[in-house]
């Protein structure tokens, strides 16, 4: 037991005396300025040494967040800009055809009734074919329909994709 303790003490002293030095190769440094962007091929040559790389930290700190940018990648492909639409030349001798707006699709939900408890918001029962839903005012159903208003005989639902509000009457099953 004494021999083990002595060996452990010697190893501990040796580690303490040579703490901070490593036999690993020193990390490679590049001569690029901190403001230059590094490609993925340059980034793959980074050492796994636990040294703080201030040049890489400065690159990430100087980047401004832009909408559409992936904050988890250093480089990202530029977002293509849409080409401007040129107006068609007008013929003065022809009759103009007015573009008719496409009709919004009807909301497929059916309103079957509501349930209310004292001191709780009123809940309604909706159905889309075989799938039943229970919702209250302000809830979103099927990720695209919002319950706007609940009445005794109908419910107002907004299709958030098409900005279309419809009143759905109470239906008997």
SS (H, E, C) the chain: CHHHHHHHHHHHHHHHHCCCCCCCCCCCCCCCCCCCCCCHHHHCCCCCCCCCCHHHHHHHHHCCCCCCCCCCCCCCCCCCCCCCCCCCCCCCCCCCCCCCCCCCCCCCCEEEEEECCCCCCCEEEEEECCEEEEEECCCEECCCEEEEEECCCEEEEEECCCCEEEEEEECCC
pLDDT at residue 35 greater than cutoff 50: no
Are the C-beta atoms of 140 and 160 separated by less than 8 Å?
yes
- Predicted confidence (pLDDT) per residue in 88-128, tens digit: 766 665 556 676 777 888 888 888 888 888 888 889 888 88
Structure tokens at 67: 């909408």
Q: How confident is the model at residue 21 (pLDDT cuts 50, 70, 90)?
A: low
Q: If you average pLDDT over residues 41-67, what whole number do you get?
A: 72
Predicted local distance difference test score (pLDDT) of residue 41? 45
**To 5 degrees, how large is the angle CA 47–CA 53–CA 55?**
120
Q: Given a cut of 90, is residue 23 above it in pLDDT?
A: no
Measure Cα distances from 28 to 12, 24, 31, 53, 78 in Å: 31, 12, 10, 11, 30
């Amino acid at each position: 037991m004494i021999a083990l303790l002595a060996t452990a003490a010697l190893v501990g002293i040796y580690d303490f005396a040579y703490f901070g030095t490593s036999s690993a190769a020193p990390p490679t440094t590049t001569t690029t300025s901190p403001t230059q962007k590094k490609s993925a091929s340059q980034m793959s040559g980074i050492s796994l040494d636990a040294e703080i790389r201030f040049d890489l930290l400065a690159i990430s700190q100087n980047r401004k967040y832009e909408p559409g940018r992936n904050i988890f990648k250093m480089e990202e492909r530029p977002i293509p800009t849409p080409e401007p639409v040129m107006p068609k030349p007008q013929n003065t001798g022809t009759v103009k055809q007015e573009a008719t707006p496409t009709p919004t699709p009807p909301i497929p939900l059916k309103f079957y009734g509501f349930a209310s408890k004292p001191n709780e918001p009123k809940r309604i029962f909706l159905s889309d074919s075989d799938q039943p839903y229970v919702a209250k005012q302000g809830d979103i159903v099927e990720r695209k329909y919002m319950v706007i208003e609940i009445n005794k005989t109908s419910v107002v639902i907004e299709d958030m994709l098409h900005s279309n509000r419809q009143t759905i009457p109470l239906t008997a099953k």
